[in-house]
Structure 1
């Protein structure tokens, strides 16, 4: 869990994010997780974008290989299995609710946006809707915080410990 605000995003990091996303990053307030080579993997995003749009997805997965892995996993319909797990396992459901609260606490220092009060991302705290968001939260918060994000990362075919960046020389650290 993040206890202090992130360092401001640098111009070099914004360039890497633009390459990763294929567009400029919107509302980037910090890099929440990095690849083994130092490139961004997850960007922390302002809860209100520059144009005024509320944006509940504080942790946004940017690494192309991580994004592809979560897309492939979603295509297997694993979210049905994870939703069943939430419904059947009280301990996992409780941990998922705690993950939701952790997410909201992490986002709080970046602004109060009434339109998204109590809203996190990925379907938390009651369902599984987006593995990209849940994996991003797990990567940013660390193992053991978001049980569904952790499961998705374990099952996916990408690891933050192994660099598969197209241009590792573009690392920002």
Structure 2
């Protein structure tokens, strides 16, 4: 099962994402996850940027409160625990590998880029490298696809159910 197509990004969405990132948003192809207020939480980015640069991270976490929470969780050292569990639990490893395949299938909807063939995000399918990417994936596709992303999201001190947007970055 793959997720695209996404809700299209409006000009306002792109302005909000640019404000969230503190730079111009690049090659936005949709908004796969939103805050309860409607503001973008995750942006979908083209697999090849307009500049020609390959970009493997389809699901990019942009919400400042979510990214700060993911950073705090990473700093707690939990990624090493997740990594150890991947090595000890064959069912978890299989589910994580399936999440990787799902991610690749989702990105393939927007074209194949040879330079990033087989590369998803967050360390999938065998490592836990970036909780921002894994949480972004879970928020975009919903629970039950990415077990590490789901767990990290549950352990964050941020919730997609509570608006923590800056007043000028709230959705409609």
Q: TM-score, structure 1 length as denominator?
A: 0.96
Aligned length: 172
Q: Cα distance, 1:10 vs. partner?
A: 1.2
Gaps of 5+ in 2: none
Instruction: Within 5 Å, give how 1:4-153 maps onto structure 2.
Output: 4-153=4-153
CA-atom RMSD, angstroms?
A: 1.3
In structure 1, C-alpha distance between the alignment counterparts of 2:7 and 2:139, rounded to whole Å: 17
In structure 1, C-alpha distance between the alignment counterparts of 2:169 and 2:34, rounded to whole Å: 14
Q: Cα distance, 1:4 vs. partner?
A: 3.8
Flag the 1:90–1:29 CA change in 2: closer, same or farther, 3 A. Answer: same
Q: What CA deviation, in whole Å up to 9, does each residue of 1:38-67 have, x standing for no partner?
A: 000000010001100000000000000000
Flag the 1:2–1:40 CA change in 2: closer, same or farther, 3 A. Answer: farther
In structure 2, C-alpha distance between the alignment counterparts of 1:79 and 1:23, rounded to whole Å: 28
Gaps of 5+ in 1: none
